[in-house]
Amino acid sequence: MSMRILVVEDHGPTRHMVEGALAEAGHITASAPDLARARALLDGGGFAAVVLDWMLPDGSGTDLLREMRREKDGTPVLLLTARGDIEDRVLGLDAGADDYLRKPFAVAELNARLRALLRRGPRLDSPVLRIGQAEFLLEQRQVRLHGREVPITLKEFAILEVLLRQRGRPVPRGVVMSSVWGAESERIGASLEVLVSRLRRKLAGAVPGELLRTHRGLGYSIAWNP
């Protein structure tokens, strides 16, 4: 599935290499050589992920990361850096990076890490999300309806989490399957339909209409009004 990805990298050859690898994987890219251009592009929105260099001519990529997280921008970010110390990795992750890739890197690893981030979707910063009469406790992997805990399996919660990360946007069935089961097949598709049906029954009455919605020929979404 084609996604729009922002590449922020001041080193021309590396930027072109990353853009070429992403284009070959079927994605659409926009690029920025510095923080100023990156901010302008991010203001327009619409990116599924950001590949972000640590050291840029007008500042640090971690500065941009902190700005994004302060503004509740949960877009997944893969941080690129030549710095290899554990302390540096921790600093980048604490700033809000979702993953970290040390230079020089293989294109195959870049693509693999981005696939994982795209399956995961935007981060959910709040530990508790409330939609209508339903509460989703992300750290405890629990759901409450009208203040009472709803019996829910780990697979069911994993489906909910994939949909919640997309903030009401339809998520293709294949993305849900690969995110929750790690693969796609007719058998897994049948299991997904059963679990979604079960979740609808368990969460009936959370919002007017349906909390979990089916988009024929595409996938599923969850009502979003936290």
21 and 116 both lie in a single domain: yes
Amino acid found at 122: P
> Domain residues for 76?
4-120
19 shares a domain with 111: yes
pLDDT at 45 over 90: no
- Domain shared by 94 and 199, yes or no: no
Do 86 and 134 belong together in one domain?
no
CA 193 to chain centre: 22
171: pLDDT confidence band, cut at 50, 70 and 90? confident
| Number of independent structural domains in the chain | 2
Q: Grade residue 173 by pLDDT with cuts at 50, 70 and 90.
A: confident
Q: Are 160 and 187 within one domain?
A: yes
pTM above 0.75, yes or no: no
Rounded distance between C-alpha atoms, residue 132 and residue 164, angstroms: 14
The fraction of the chain above a pLDDT of 90, given in percent, is 51
Q: 72-105: per-residue pLDDT in tens?
A: 788 899 999 887 677 777 888 888 888 889 888 9
Asked if 29 and 6 touch (Cβ cutoff 8 Å), the reply is yes
Please, what's the largest Cα pairwise distance for the chain?
56
Using the 3D structure, point to which of 120, 150, 182 is the last residue of a domain: 120
Give the domain CATH number at 78.
3.40.50.2300
Q: Is 77 exposed, middle or buried (0-12, 13-18, 19+ CB in 10 A)?
A: buried
176, 142: one domain: yes
Q: Are residues 181 and 89 in the same domain?
A: no
Do 17 and 115 share a domain, yes or no?
yes
- 149 and 216 within one domain: yes
Q: b/e string for 147-179 if b means 16 or more Cβ within 10 A?
A: eeebebeeebbebbbbbbbbeeebbebbbbbbb
Domain stop point among 95, 120, 145: 120
